[in-house]
Amino acid sequence: MAKKALVKTEEKPAETQKKRAAIYVIYDKDGVLSEYREYFLKELKKVTDRIVVVANGVLNPESRDKLYEITDDFFVRENSGYDSGAFRAGMNYISWDTLQNEYDELILCNDSMLGPIYPFAEIFGKMEDSDADIWSIQKIFGNKDIHTIRGDYKFPNGVKETLTIPFCVVRKKYLRSYEFKEWWTKDFPIKNYGDASYFNEFGFSEYLRNSGFRLGFFMDDTLKSYADNLATVFPYKCFLENNINLFKIKAFENDSVNTPYFITLRYCYGKEPRQLLEHLDKHTNFDTGLIWDTILRKSNLYDIWLQNQLEYIVPKDYVKGAYTYKKKIAVIAHIYYADLVEEAAYYGDNFPKDTDFYITVSSEETEAEVKRIFAEKKFSFTVTLIPNVGRDVPALWVTYAHIVTGGEYDYICFYHDKKSNHGQFSASGETYKLNSYENLFGTKNVVKNVINLFEQNKRLGVLGAKNAYHAFYFASVQSNGHRVTEQIIKFAKKLDLKVPFFPNKTMCAPYGSVFWFRADALKKAVGTGFDYSDFDVGLDIDGTVLHAIERMYGIIAQDSGYYYANVINDDNARSDLVNYQYMLNDLVDIIKPYVSFYSYEQLKINLTNYMQNSKNAILDAKGKPAVVSMAHMTASEYAKLGINQQEFLEIVSTKLLIKKLVKRLIPKSLWNRLHEGRAAKIAAHKK
């Protein structure tokens, strides 16, 4: 059944025929045109007489061939001056005489926008009656209390309503004026994003207003004072309430460093990007694959995971929606312990009756148990005795790699048994294992719900259990460590992975190596061709290729055009919500007395920007992974962050925070006696 258009506009007479030119600026570090850009240009062509494409940086031969099919007017220039330099180059290419004498309107736009969802003609139709001399799709609402903007440009009387350059239309009156050419031929040095924002938007809008021109906006005042960052934080609301059908790519891939996710949390739950994606997919003819293709190729997976909230909750006791999948699935498992075969068979009952089980074992005893118990269960199974190397990894990457690459199965579950405590008590390891088992195949209904997730989300590639945060697992997934990072980079080169990877960001992966996957998502990597010896690392797996692989399943899927997501059943979600709230409350109690929300937020921005921009945060001069420790930074490095070294240590050091809290709560006279006693002990120790 064809999808229904979500937005229905009122019947209007056709707009007055105008001769339009458009300058479309693209930048891609790999020189790729991308299908979303092709789609945008083909739709734009329907309302323009001429399109000039300006590529900043590079353009590969295949993209050049594609552009020839859309427009003969394009050229590649040095990537300098941001959009401003590209727009100016485009105007010079068309020529000022041609622009001002032959065209009624000029569209200035760039590839930061996705869309349109419905035809451009409807946008121009709505703006037909506007008396604006220049208008943009979205706007930055004025604020009399803001006196500086990016780059510290000053506006003593506050910032007024501002055009946004990603899609801006210059009409005849302004296009043919002296002021238009005067502004765009200014010798204005654009060295950074702040300069570009001033020249294209804030300063440009002020100049136009002061010159007596009228500014217009497709967006109305419905969302005024609702929030800033509307384009990235509230794209769904902009669509529903303003019919904004062009969206910032950043809405679906927002960089957690330059625009941290907790900025979104200032306003809301962060639902909007995923709500918009779901709505477009279900209720419009727009191909959301254009969005996924774009962000999966060029964005960090953690940013994608955050921005699109890629964590699913599935019912434990019933199937959500109709379960109609008819093909067989496969389970690949490694069972090491003979006494855990019974447990493996118990969970095996939760898979559909016609499931094919592919089991590896490392001892004849375990092999015999598998054959006995799985036969009793009447499972369809194959068991293979393999060398005792690499733990569970060779089962998938060597023994049964052909099951992944063969094309017989769409969906495969991979798991292994587990006894290791990873802590003082066996309960820690046991509950960690159950976190994976229960959320991925804990009941027959969970299994069917998981398969439905893959059926309903065609870009879902790997699905792991939500991360465990109990015991020492609390901080175990936040960083990779120097040794693991080296292994990840090495293995990624072997697999020829192209997606961006930042060692200082959390890896989205199935920690514990128990997960479901779409065969196509891992086919390329698993089919590379490995031998058991490739995974023979001895007894200590920490910092080895085995730990690297565990963390890489997400980016492996991403490289093949799929995303990684987590899943939790509704029963465990109830526990997690309470646990998360406890952890948050505890954190607030520690931080709140000393740091206001805003200053802590700004501190986090400064710190993350430092980590991102410092060349040592990713690779050192020799190209090897470098780990930056905030505790060992020099005073001058702290100064670059705009904070005092001691102030930083007092804020982030739990020990110092507790010390300050104790100091605040106990009488000053008692504190002084304690302090004097400690000083005396230190002095005696030095002697």
- pLDDT tens-digit readout, 402-436: 999 999 999 999 999 988 655 556 788 888 889 99
Highest mean pLDDT among 375-379, 465-469, 496-500: 375-379
Average pLDDT across the chain, whole number = 84
Per-residue pLDDT reduced to its tens digit, 187-214:
888 888 888 989 999 999 999 999 999 9
30: pLDDT strictly greater than 60: yes
CB 377 within 8 A of CB 349: yes
- 298-349 pLDDT, tens digit each: 999 999 999 999 999 999 999 999 999 999 999 999 999 999 999 999 999 9
Residues 44-70 have pLDDT tens digits of 999 999 999 999 999 999 999 999 999
Nearest to residue 412, comparing CAs of 337, 517, 542? 517
pLDDT attached to residue 2: 37
**% of the chain at pLDDT higher than 70:** 79
pLDDT for the residue numbered 26: 97
Determine phi and psi for 154, rounding to 5 degrees.
Answer: -100, 140
Question: Residue 104's pLDDT is what?
Answer: 96
- For position 633, what pLDDT does the model report? 44
Q: What is the pLDDT of residues 109-132, one digit of tens each?
A: 999 999 999 999 999 999 999 999
Listed range (172-176, 253-257, 280-284) with the worst mean pLDDT: 253-257
Kindly state the percentage of the chain with pLDDT values over 90: 61
pLDDT classification of 598: cutoffs 50, 70, 90:
very low
Strand partners, 153: 149
Confidence at residue 652, expressed as pLDDT on a 0 to 100 scale: 43
What's this model's pTM, rounded to 2 decimal places? Answer: 0.82
> Per the structure block, which two tokens stand in for 128?
């037909």
| Three-state secondary structure of 121-188 | HHHHHHHCCCCCCEEECCEECCECCCCEEHHHEECCCCECCEECCCEEEEEHHHHCCHHHHHHHCCCC
pLDDT at 680 over 80: no
Tokens of 363: 């001892």
Residue 42's pLDDT band, with cuts at 50, 70 and 90, is very high
pLDDT score recorded for residue 146: 83
Task: Name the residue among 516, 520, 356 with its Cα closest to residue 451.
Answer: 516
User: Which is more confidently placed, 411 or 155?
Assistant: 411
Spell out the residues 6+ positions from residue 444 whose beta carbon is closer than 8 angstroms to its own: 349, 350
For position 4, what pLDDT does the model report?
37
